[in-house]
Chains A and B, each alone.
Chain A
Amino acid sequence: MSWRSWRRVRQAVQIAFFVFYIILIFSVVQRRVAPPLADIFFRLDPYSALGAMLASRQWIAKFALALVTVGVTLIIGRVWCGWICPLGSLLEWVSFKKARKRAASISPQWRLAKYFLLATSLALALFGGLTLLVFDPIAIFTRTLTTAILPGLFYAVNSVETALYQVSFLSPALDGFEGLVRGVVIPVEQPAFTQNLAIATLFFGLIALNLLAHRFWCRYLCPLGALLGLLSKFSLFRPVIGTSCTQCTRCAVVCKPGAIDTDPEDFHIMPAECTVCLDCMANCKPGDIRFRYRLKPAQTEEFDISRRQALGALASGAVGVLLLGTDLRLRQDNPWQIRPPGVNEEDTFLSTCIRCSQCMKICPTTALQPALTQAGLEGLWTPLVVPRVGYCDYGCTACGQVCPSGAIPLLTLEKKRSMVIGKASIDRNRCLPWASGMQCIVCEEMCPTPQKAIRLEEAEVIDSSGQASTVKRPSVLRDLCIGCGICEHYCPLEGDAAIRVYDA
């Protein structure tokens, strides 16, 4: 098979993995049960795996798959980047004509940035912090789809339908469409997420950087690419330019990651930057670029991280831990810091959660929202239960099913129902029966515990019109409350609920 055919195979594989990734995304949107393989891309990701294992100081069996990626890289290089990574594929497809010229004016030294980011985040992980895993490419893509792109897409569909339902003869067609997609592809509840703008800005910013250079993110910034790049320096088979090279630079022109050093004295392919896309081989006039068996590590490049720089990254990580760890959270707990069911120790959680946002994607009520500073700076984009947005469904164990690192444990339904994530508390100054003598008690009706954790007492009151009447007043039985937040979610008061769940 010629290199051109192989390149076509690669493009097909790329499309297949991308489509697979998108199907997986849709298969876990607001579901109660996750399909198998739902977290497969994260489990193949050695950056997240290494970070989580370093920070939580344990072997995480689910991440054993990442060894496959490491193994493949050690044999033939960054196949992950050129064949599999969905963000990498997207960045390859979104390319701008002038990017190659513009890239020429960017110093190759900038490639160091990704190694520095990798080293700093691993140093941070060594001290127990995983905050920098927000830059994992799979996490970036998944988080953006979850919090920004899919909610927007569903909102568009719902809005267009609302408009079209005004035209009565379209109703049967719309009903037919709805019957196919609602609850299958499009969730019943419209999702909404805080931070969607910030998360989308990061993502679209990365895409916009492609204006400056092809696969800008992959070249200069991606910490996973940096990790795989370091491994590629030792890969057994590497693309090597043969002796019949005329230095025509056609290969360098087509190379998206810019992995070919065109210095006439030392015209060579840099394995650490190469994404094994085969474009150079397919375009080589003499046809003399091929994989060659090498045991010796690849030569060092001017932008490789030096010992001094690595130590600098370690120091940055240490300083980062000190700064992140000594924000106000150290002295002042956030009373509304409610974590998903089964999460007990906050510190353990922060050093195991890889910030992938899978839990937020699957939560059927969209109760899980990305934190900004509610859990300290360290907890950026970790999941928090926000009951006013959604409650923790008493019949659901979905978040534990999709968590790749086990930060949210996989629980049986029975076990999950006994997990206390917070405690509800009633503000009698705002609660309708308590404050205004009005009938309400929605909270008691919604309470899912078999022996209701909200008790009603009848009381003679003067109602808001001055008449004597009897109302039922709710109070929380603290021992029975599991903090699911459905009471807070459905409390009919405007704005904040009169019953709120506090961190227990």
Chain B
Amino acid sequence: MKRRPPISRRTFIKLTATVAAGAALASCTPRQSPTEASTARINPTLPPSPTTETVPSGTSPSTPEQSTPTETSTNPEPSPTTSPAYLAVVHGPDPAAITRAAIEALGGMAAFVSAGYDVIIKPNICTDYHTPEYATTTNPTVVGTLVTMCLEAGAKRVRVMDYPFGGTATSAYATSGIGDAVEAAGGEMHVMIPAKYTWVDIPEGRDITKVKIYPDTLEADLLINVPIAKDHGATRLTLGAKNLMGVILDRDMMHMNLSQRIADLTSLVRPPLTVIDAVRILTANGPTGGDLADVKQMDTVIASRDVVAADAYATTLFGLTGSDIGYITASADMGLGTMDLSSIDIQEITLG
């Protein structure tokens, strides 16, 4: 009788093939280190910046004198009677109306959104602790109105996202009221996917030159940055540039040199439109809040293509100036925008 080998040739080949397939699959998975392979997919020059063609308007945030949008003439929407403002500040009791008026003052949403655009709105949804009247998360009506306006302007998809530090995305979307408002307006609440974060170079970065970022925020046709103006221990105020920290995961490392690193991140993301919600502002114990005595009703929305100018204006609501906030001066110093409010065209509107 023939003695059978302990393992047949066929079995051996099968096992080898399985192990090889497993090894191949395993080697595809990058570990948590910034390898060249994992950065290759993202082109850091892709995000809307003054030098690329992806921005629908010819406006450069750092050069206010060229602020005539080139595409407004081709807009199907009725052109505003006055020339588009560099910075719009609108006061009024109805958050939806003032949001709409602020965007109209900048030339209407059609100046930012073309048909078929994939839009991302990044509000501040930092925790799942409080409802909107505590002014810890962006006003849901402001976010909902922006979603509506993007869809009206022909956007094919509007996603709203943030990565809370307190609670989970799903619970924070619910508590903040933003989830309901966005879904009612026809937008999508997007839960940011941990597997998707990618290392990207920051070519202009002064302190950090690499960051692990949510790639969709760089690849979208339009990113609308919608912070709420509120108190913040480390930076005094959290506004537009600070709100961009929501698109990265490792925020601990940012705190080592917070102001410069926020400016570095801003130089990478360069939000083409910043809308600051100052319907209610949180004046103390931010960014987490929780005491209605610290909330001040301001009924204001600030909008600009220039995140630095918008932030600089927002500081005045707290009795400060742009130069009081480290990341505003650092961003202005990098040429990401202007903090000199006297040099820009500010259109202030009060609705009844």
Q: How far is the CB of B198 from chain A (nearest CB, A)?
A: 8
Our pick among B29, B129, B191 for the contact of A188 (Cβ within 8 Å) is B191
Q: How far is the CB of B24 from chain A (nearest CB, A)?
A: 10
User: Which residues of A442-486 have CB atoms within 8 Å of chain B's CB atoms?
Assistant: 442, 444-452, 456, 472, 486
Q: Which residue from chain A places its CB closest to the CB of B163 in the assembled complex?
A: A188
Q: Does A327 count as interface, using CB distance less than 8 angstroms?
A: no
User: Which residues of B184-243 have CB atoms within 8 Å of chain A's CB atoms?
Assistant: 188, 190-196, 232-234
State the majority secondary structure of interface residues on A: loop
Q: Which residue from chain B places its CB closest to the CB of A171 in the assembled complex?
A: B196
Q: Which residue from chain B places its CB closest to the CB of A491 in the assembled complex?
A: B252
Q: Which residue from chain A places its CB closest to the CB of B194 in the assembled complex?
A: A158
Our pick among A30, A161, A448, A450 for the contact of B166 (Cβ within 8 Å) is A448
Our pick among B37, B127, B294 for the contact of A395 (Cβ within 8 Å) is B127
Q: Does A190 count as interface, using CB distance less than 8 angstroms?
A: yes
Residue contact B290 to A188, C-beta cutoff 8 Å:
no
Residue contact B252 to A442, C-beta cutoff 8 Å:
yes
Considering the chains assembled together, what is the distance between the CA atoms of A158 and B124 in angstroms? 26
Residue contact B255 to A439, C-beta cutoff 8 Å:
yes
Q: Does B170 count as interface, using CB distance less than 8 angstroms?
A: yes
With a cutoff of 8 Å between Cβ atoms, the chain B residues found around residue A161 in the complex are 193, 195-196
Q: Does A183 count as interface, using CB distance less than 8 angstroms?
A: yes
Q: Does B38 count as interface, using CB distance less than 8 angstroms?
A: yes
Considering the chains assembled together, what is the distance between the CA atoms of A189 and B167 in angstroms? 10
Residue contact B41 to A168, C-beta cutoff 8 Å:
yes
A441 with B233: in contact, given A188-B170, A450-B285 (CB under 8 Å)? Answer: yes
Residue contact A158 to B255, C-beta cutoff 8 Å:
no
Chain A interface size range: 35 or more
Q: How far is the CB of B243 from chain A (nearest CB, A)?
A: 14
Q: Which residue from chain B places its CB closest to the CB of A159 in the assembled complex?
A: B29
Residue contact A447 to B25, C-beta cutoff 8 Å:
no
Residue contact B167 to A440, C-beta cutoff 8 Å:
no
Q: Does B253 count as interface, using CB distance less than 8 angstroms?
A: yes
Q: How far is the CB of B33 from chain A (nearest CB, A)?
A: 13
Q: How far is the CB of B231 from chain A (nearest CB, A)?
A: 10
With a cutoff of 8 Å between Cβ atoms, the chain B residues found around residue A182 in the complex are 191, 193
Q: Does A438 count as interface, using CB distance less than 8 angstroms?
A: yes
Residue contact B167 to A450, C-beta cutoff 8 Å:
no
Residue contact A393 to B166, C-beta cutoff 8 Å:
yes
Q: Does A412 count as interface, using CB distance less than 8 angstroms?
A: no
Q: Does A162 count as interface, using CB distance less than 8 angstroms?
A: yes
With a cutoff of 8 Å between Cβ atoms, the chain B residues found around residue A490 in the complex are 165, 252
Considering the chains assembled together, what is the distance between the CA atoms of A456 and B288 in angstroms? 15
With a cutoff of 8 Å between Cβ atoms, the chain A residues found around residue B171 in the complex are 32, 364, 393, 395-396
Residue contact B168 to A30, C-beta cutoff 8 Å:
yes
Q: Does B6 count as interface, using CB distance less than 8 angstroms?
A: no
Q: Does A166 count as interface, using CB distance less than 8 angstroms?
A: yes
Residue contact A187 to B255, C-beta cutoff 8 Å:
no
With a cutoff of 8 Å between Cβ atoms, the chain B residues found around residue A187 in the complex are 168
Chain A 387-429 interface 0/1 with B at a Cβ cutoff of 8 Å (1 = within): 0000101111000000000000000000000000000000000
Taking beta carbons and an 8 Å cutoff, which residues of A are in contact with B? 30, 32, 158-163, 165-166, 168, 175, 178-179, 182-183, 187-190, 364-365, 391, 393-396, 432, 438-442, 444-452, 456, 472, 486, 490, 492
A sample of 29 cross-chain residue pairs with beta-carbon separation below 8 angstroms, ordered by A number, consists of A160-B25, A161-B195, A163-B25, A163-B30, A178-B191, A178-B193, A179-B188, A183-B168, A189-B194, A364-B167, A393-B128, A393-B166, A393-B171, A394-B129, A394-B288, A395-B167, A396-B171, A432-B256, A441-B233, A441-B255, A444-B233, A448-B127, A450-B289, A450-B291, A450-B294, A452-B288, A456-B233, A472-B234, A490-B252
What 4 A-B pairs have minimum CB-CB distances, sorted nearest first? A450-B290, A492-B252, A161-B195, A450-B291
Given contact pairs A190-B194, A395-B172, a sample of 13 additional A-B residue pairs in the complex whose CB atoms are under 8 Å apart: A32-B171, A159-B29, A163-B28, A163-B29, A166-B28, A183-B168, A188-B194, A189-B168, A364-B168, A394-B288, A438-B256, A439-B234, A441-B255
Taking beta carbons and an 8 Å cutoff, which residues of B are in contact with A? 25, 28-30, 37-38, 41, 127-130, 165-172, 175, 188, 190-196, 232-234, 252-253, 255-258, 285, 287-291, 294
